[in-house]
Amino acid sequence: MIKHIVLLTWKPETTKTEIDAVSQGLARLPEDIPEIVSYHFGPDAKLYRGNADYALVAEFHSEADLKTYVTHPSHQRFMKEVASPILDTFQSVQIEL
């Protein structure tokens, strides 16, 4: 099992509407990408200073399934059209479970 963790920081001028569009777009991806085992995402709860603005935690059965997700046309389209225009920084880490 592979856990894929993503931390996003938005550009300063990013609006709530744009962030909501990210959540809506991510919510649709499991319908198109059956390799996703579990998928959780959302804005930071603002409990600590210095956190990223948004996080995604996904699980996949294998590295191959993760690669399928990353290269899937629906994911690529979402990144290009919705997330990338408002993205300031992006970090990810993968953990083998």
Per-residue confidence in pLDDT tens, the chain, 97 aa: 999 999 999 999 999 999 999 999 999 999 999 999 999 999 999 999 999 999 999 999 999 999 999 999 999 999 999 999 999 999 999 999 9
pTM of the model: 0.92
Domain count for the chain, please give it: 1
Q: What is the 3-state secondary structure (H, E, C) of 6-38?
A: EEEEECCCCCHHHHHHHHHHHHHHHHHCCCEEE
Looking at residue 74, its pLDDT comes to: 98
Predicted local distance difference test score (pLDDT) of residue 55: 98
Encode burial over 61-70: b for 16+ CB neighbours within 10 A, e otherwise: eeeebbebbe
Would you state the pLDDT for residue 33? 98
**Alpha carbons 17 and 11: distance in angstroms, whole number:** 14
Q: For residue 15, what pLDDT is reported? A: 97
Q: What is the pLDDT of residue 65?
A: 98
Contact assessment for residue 74 and residue 18, using Cβ atoms and an 8 Å cutoff: no
Domain that holds residue 18: 2-96
Residue 57 φ/ψ, nearest 5 degrees: -130, 120
